[in-house]
Amino acid sequence: MRTAQDGRGTGGDVTGLLQAWSEGDERAFDRLMPLVYDELHRMAYRYVARERADPSLQATGLVNEVCLRLLGWDTVRWQNRRHFFGVSARMMRRVLVDIARRRRASRRGGNGIVHVPVGDIDVPDDPPDSDLVALDRALEDLAARDDRKAQVVELKFFGGMSMEEIAQTLGVSLRTVHNDWTFARAWLYRALAAGGDPE
């Protein structure tokens, strides 16, 4: 991931701060945020930039909500910055799905659905339109079969990461990420087109 303070810098060591935070140092979170905020904002911005149809969705607001939710994760045994950004991408997904569910509940019917063009996850031609809640359900089904493939989609679609960044985050080869992506996008296409399980 592109960051001037990849692990060490004047603000401290990201991995060290994550570990200190896990061990109960409340000040570690405050020192950690300036080191990771720009990358979290880039992740959010890449997602929001795709969602031009929703002017109410702002990258800064999305990051702030993720940061608030992360405050409750102080007991997690953080391994390193890759682990942190992987969890952050999952948190971003949860925030976005919660927003979609609230809109669906408040508006009822089609107007409450947040449409997600499945083409944004590079599926074959003629993709079905889906919504964020349906995509979330399909990802849960995929995770039950192969968690790493679901993580690849999560990091790319919700975290806005490149293939190289995903490989680094998951600690696997770039070829493995490409293979997982090829399988996952076809699986999700079938699942969303069928309105359920592709098998």
At 136-151, the pLDDT tens digits run 899 999 999 999 999 9
Q: Which residues pair with 131 in a beta bridge?
A: 115
What secondary structure letter does DSSP report for 64? Answer: H
Q: For 61-118, what is each residue's pLDDT tens digit?
A: 889 999 988 888 877 888 888 889 888 998 998 888 888 787 777 765 544 444 444 4
First to last CA, the chain: 35
Instruction: Round the CA-based radius of gyration of the chain to a whole number and report it.
Output: 17
Domain ranges of the chain: 14-194
Assessment of whether the complete model's pTM goes beyond 0.75: no
Q: What is the pLDDT of residue 130?
A: 53
List CB contacts of 133: < 8 A, sequence separation 6 or more: 97, 100, 101, 104, 113, 114
Q: Which two tokens stand for residue 25?
A: 């140092």
Mean pLDDT value across the chain: 78
